[in-house]
A and B are shown apart, each in its own frame.
Chain A
Amino acid sequence: MAIAIELQNITRAYGTVNALDNVSLKIEAGEFFTLLGPSGSGKSTLLKIIGGFEEPTGGSVLFNGEDVTSLSANQRPSNTVFQDLALFPHMSVGQNVAYGLQIQRVPKSEIVERVIDALDLVGLSGFEDRNVNLLSGGQRQRVALARSLIMEPGVLLLDEPLTGLDEQLRQQMRDEFGYLHEKTGATFILVTHNQDEALSLSNRMAIMKGGQLVQVDPPTTFFEHPKNSFVAGFMGMDCLIKPDRVSMENGSPVATVGDTRITAVNNAEIVPGRDYVLAIRPDQIRFEAGGASGPTSIKVTVKTIRYRGLFYDIHAEFSNGEQLLMTHPVEGAGNLPATGEVVNISFSPGAPLILLQE
C-alpha cells in the first residue's frame, strides 16, 4: 500500500511544554486511522499539523512522499471537518457546500451538479436553500461532511466531529463515516476520545498520551496485546489488579495477590524492578461451582452486587484488599453468590494479561 501521510519526528512546543514530542507515524492511503487519547494528549494538535493549521516546531509532514511542512492549509490536498463544524453562518447549505469549488473557479453548471451529488451522498438531498443556522446537529454535521467531500480530498481529517451530539445520533453518524469511507476510498483520520468510535471504525489506531504515541496497531491488537496499563485502562479494561510480586515460573509470569497465585499470559517481558499489573476484562472472569472449595485456587470475597439490566456487576476483593470487577449474566441469577461469601473464580483463556504499570 502507498503511504498517504508520513510524519517524521514531529515536535510541537508551547513555551516549555511539548504538546507533541517526537511523533513519527505512517498512514496508508485509503486507511481509516484514528488518533485516540484523553484530552491534552496532543491528538488534536497532531491533526492540526497534518491539516496545515499549525506548524510543528520540529520534524516534517509528508503527503504522498512530498514534504508539505511549509505549505499552509489552502495548499494541502486534505480537508477538515472541524470540531465545531465551522459552517459559514451567512451562507445557505448549498453555498456552504459549493464554496470550495467556487474558489477553484469550477464552471457553475458543474458546481450545481456536484453540490447535488454531495448532498445526496450525505442524505441531504434538496437542502440546498436551507439556512444552516436552522438545521439540527446531525444535519449540520452532514453539511460539514458534504462541504469537505465535494473537494474529493485524498485525506479527510475529522477533529472530534461527534462531540456535542446525543448518543443515538453519534451512532448514526459513526455508521455514516464508515459508509463514506468505503464509498470515497479516501484516507480518513479521526481524532476522538471515545474508544467505541475508534474500535468500530478504524483499520488502525494510535493511542496518545503526553504528546507521544503509546501504541499504534489494529483495534483487535489493542485488546489482545495492550502495551501497558494505560492502554488497557483506556480500552475499557477497568479491572487492573496490582500484584504483590511477579515472578517467572516455567516460562510464564506468576503474580501473587495476597495469598492467591495467578498465572498470567505472557504479554510483556518481566524486568525486575518494574511495576506490573494484571489486566482482566469483567466478562473474562467466571464463578466456579462449589463455592470456596471450587477447582481453582483463586478465591475472592464478594463485596457488592449491582443489577445492570443485561448482567450483574459484582465487586469482589482479594485477601490483600485488591479489587476485582466481574459480570454475571442475568439468566444465571439463581447462582449469584451472596455478599460476603468467598467464591472460587477462573479466567477465560488468554486472560489475565500482565502489563507494565504506566
Chain B
Amino acid sequence: MNRTVLLLATPAIAVIGLLCLAPLVLVVVWSFWTWDPSTYWIKPDLSFAAYEAIFEAGRWKVLLDSIIKALLTGLICLVIGYPAAYCIHFLAGNRSAFLLMGLFTIPFFTSYLIRSFSWRLVLGRNGMVNSTLMSTGLIDEPIEWLLFSDFAVIVGLVASYLPFVIFPLLLSMRKVEKSVLQASLDLGASFFQTLRTVLLPLTKAGCFAGFLFVFVMSLGSSTEVKMLGGAAASMISVMINDVMRVVNFPLAFAISSVVILFLLILLYVGNRHLKLAKLFEDFSW
C-alpha cells in the first residue's frame, strides 16, 4: 500500500481500533480477573473461575436456548425476507421498490419498546388474534401459548429484525443479471427450478449475511424477551444483566467472550463456504 494512502487512512484505522478492538480485548482480558469482595471491584488475576461458573446454575442452558431462538429467528426471517426482497428487486418498479423499502423501515421510526409492547395487544389473552378466533367460533377458549412464550419471543424478534435480512439480500440480488434468470427459463427450467439452481446459489452470500445480522441481533436482544417471554424467560443479555446486578463482572465478561468466540467461529466457517466477501466484489470480469 502507498504510504500516503496509509497516512490518510490512519485516523480511520485508529477509530476502528479504539472503538471496536479495544473494548473486545478488554472484555476478554477482564473475564480472567477475579472479583474482590473487599473493594467491590475486579482485580488482575488469571482465573478460570468465571468460565467454570458458566456451567453452573443452568447458565449453559440459557446460552443454548438463546442460540436456538436466534437461529430460528434468522431462518424465519430468511424465509419471509427472501420473497420480499425478490419482489422488491425483480418485480417492483423504481418508485414502488422505494415505497416497499419504506414500509419495512417506517416501523423503526417508533421506539423498539413500543413495537415490542404492541405485540402484547395482538397476542395476549384478550388480544386481536384470540378475540378474532373466538368471535369466528374457531376456538372456545383463548389460546394461552400465544403470549409469554418462546413463540411470542420469536414473533417479536422476527418483526424487529426482518428488515436487516432484506437489505443484504437486495444487495446480492442486484448482482444477478436478469438475463441469467432468463437464460435459465430459455433452457426449459421452471420458475422454481431457476430459483433453486440459479438464483439461490448466486445469492447465498446475501442469505448468509442477512441471516448473520438477524442472528447476532437476536442473540443480543433483551427487550423482546422481557416484554413477550414471560417471567421465566431468559436470554443471554437478560442473564448478563442479572449477573451484573450482583456485580459479578468477570462472569458477565466470560459469557460475553464465549458468545463472541462462537460468533467468530460461525463467521469464519460461514465465510469459507458461502464467500461473504463476494458481496463486496464488483463484476470485474
Partner of A147, one of B182, B187, B197, B202: B187
Complex CA distance for A53 and B180, rounded to whole angstroms:
12
In the assembled complex, the CB of A175 is this many whole angstroms from the nearest CB of chain B, namely 25
B190 within 8 A of A: yes
Complex CA distance for A332 and B185, rounded to whole angstroms:
59
Q: Mark A84-104, 1 if CB is under 8 A from B, else 0.
A: 101111100000000110011
Q: A86-B179, A88-B198 are in contact. Are A80 and B189 (CB under 8 A)?
A: no
Do residues B285 and A133 form an inter-chain contact, with CB atoms below 8 A?
yes
A280 within 8 A of B: no
Complex CA distance for A82 and B179, rounded to whole angstroms:
7
Complex CA distance for A88 and B190, rounded to whole angstroms:
16
Complex CA distance for A163 and B183, rounded to whole angstroms:
18
Do residues A86 and B188 form an inter-chain contact, with CB atoms below 8 A?
no
Q: A89-B202, A103-B193, A134-B285 are in contact. Are A84 and B188 (CB under 8 A)?
A: no
Chain A residues, CB < 8 A from B189: 74, 99, 103
Partner of B186, one of A74, A90, A133, A134: A74
A122 within 8 A of B: no
Complex CA distance for A89 and B181, rounded to whole angstroms:
12
A180 within 8 A of B: no
B184 within 8 A of A: yes
B93 within 8 A of A: no
Do residues B188 and A104 form an inter-chain contact, with CB atoms below 8 A?
yes
Complex CA distance for A103 and B29, rounded to whole angstroms:
56
Partner of A89, one of B180, B182, B187, B193: B180
Do residues A80 and B193 form an inter-chain contact, with CB atoms below 8 A?
no
Partner of A86, one of B183, B190, B193, B201: B183
In the assembled complex, the CB of B167 is this many whole angstroms from the nearest CB of chain A, namely 22
B177 within 8 A of A: yes
Partner of A88, one of B183, B188, B285: B183
Complex CA distance for A104 and B187, rounded to whole angstroms:
9
Tally of B interface residues using CB under 8 Å: 18
Chain B residues, CB < 8 A from A103: 187-189, 193
Question: Of all chain B residues, which has the CB nearest A83?
Answer: B179
Q: A88-B198, A89-B202, A90-B202 are in contact. Are A100 and B179 (CB under 8 A)?
A: no
Q: Mark A131-169, 1 if CB is under 8 A from B, else 0.
A: 001100000000000011001000000000000000000
Complex CA distance for A100 and B184, rounded to whole angstroms:
8
Complex CA distance for A80 and B188, rounded to whole angstroms:
11
Chain B residues, CB < 8 A from A87: 180, 183
Tally of A interface residues using CB under 8 Å: 25
Do residues A100 and B182 form an inter-chain contact, with CB atoms below 8 A?
no
Chain A residues, CB < 8 A from B202: 89-90
**Is chain B's interface secondary structure helix, strand, loop, or mixed overall?**
helix
In the assembled complex, the CB of A339 is this many whole angstroms from the nearest CB of chain B, namely 51
Complex CA distance for A80 and B183, rounded to whole angstroms:
7
Partner of B183, one of A72, A82, A104, A133: A82
Q: A84-B177, A86-B177, A90-B202 are in contact. Are A74 and B183 (CB under 8 A)?
A: no
Chain A residues, CB < 8 A from B185: 53, 72-74
Complex CA distance for A148 and B198, rounded to whole angstroms:
17
Chain B residues, CB < 8 A from A89: 180, 202
Question: Of all chain B residues, which has the CB nearest A53?
Answer: B182
Complex CA distance for A88 and B285, rounded to whole angstroms:
13
Chain B residues, CB < 8 A from A90: 198, 201-202
Do residues B179 and A84 form an inter-chain contact, with CB atoms below 8 A?
yes
In the assembled complex, the CB of A350 is this many whole angstroms from the nearest CB of chain B, namely 44
A187 within 8 A of B: no
Complex CA distance for A148 and B185, rounded to whole angstroms:
12
Q: Mark B166-186, 1 if CB is under 8 A from A, else 0.
A: 000000000001011011111
In the assembled complex, the CB of A278 is this many whole angstroms from the nearest CB of chain B, namely 44
Question: Of all chain A residues, which has the CB nearest B198?
Answer: A88
Do residues A79 and B180 form an inter-chain contact, with CB atoms below 8 A?
no
Do residues B285 and A99 form an inter-chain contact, with CB atoms below 8 A?
no
Question: Of all chain B residues, which has the CB nearest A79?
Answer: B186
- What are 27 A-to-B residue pairs whose CB atoms are below 8 Å? A51-B186, A53-B185, A53-B186, A73-B182, A73-B185, A74-B186, A74-B187, A74-B188, A74-B189, A74-B190, A78-B186, A82-B182, A82-B183, A84-B179, A86-B177, A86-B180, A86-B182, A87-B180, A88-B184, A88-B198, A89-B202, A90-B202, A100-B187, A103-B189, A133-B285, A147-B187, A151-B187
Chain B interface residues (CB < 8 Å from chain A): 177, 179-180, 182-190, 193, 197-198, 201-202, 285
Across the A-B interface, the 4 shortest Cβ-Cβ residue pairs = A100-B187, A86-B179, A86-B183, A73-B185
Known contacts A103-B188, A148-B186, then 9 further A-B pairs from the complex at CB < 8 Å, ordered by chain A residue: A53-B182, A79-B187, A80-B182, A83-B179, A84-B177, A86-B180, A86-B183, A88-B183, A104-B188
